[in-house]
Chain A
Amino acid sequence: DIVMTQSPDSLAVSLGERATINCKSSQSVLYSSNNKNYLAWYQQKPGQPPKLLIYWASTRESGVPDRFSGSGSGTDFTLTISSLQAEDVAVYYCQQYYDMYTFGQGTNLEIK
Chain B
Amino acid sequence: QVQLVESGGGLVKPGGSLRLSCAASRFTFSDYYMSWVRQGPGKGLEWVSYISSGGSGRHYTDSVKGRFTISRDNAKNSLYLQMNSLRVEDTAVYYCARPRVGNDAYDGFDIWGQGTMVTVSS
Contacts and interface: CB of A to CB of B under 8 A. Distances in A.
Interface string A26-55: 000000000000101010100011111011
Contacts of B37: 101
Contacts of A77: none
Contact of B45 (A50, A52, A55, A98): A50
A106 B100 CA distance: 21
Nearest to A4: B44
Of residues A48, A52, A102, which shows the largest number of chain B Cβ atoms within 10 Å of its Cβ?
A: A52
B4 to A, nearest CB: 9
A103 B44 contact: yes
Contact of B112 (A50, A98, A103): A50
B23 to A, nearest CB: 15
B32 to A, nearest CB: 14
Contact of B106 (A38, A93, A104, A106): A38
B5 to A, nearest CB: 12
Interface string A80-110: 0000000000000101011011111110000
Interface of A: 1, 38, 40, 42, 44, 48-52, 54-55, 61, 93, 95, 97-98, 100-106
20 contacts: A1-B62, A40-B109, A42-B45, A44-B45, A52-B108, A52-B110, A55-B108, A61-B100, A61-B110, A93-B44, A93-B45, A95-B108, A95-B109, A97-B99, A100-B61, A101-B37, A101-B50, A103-B44, A103-B45, A103-B47
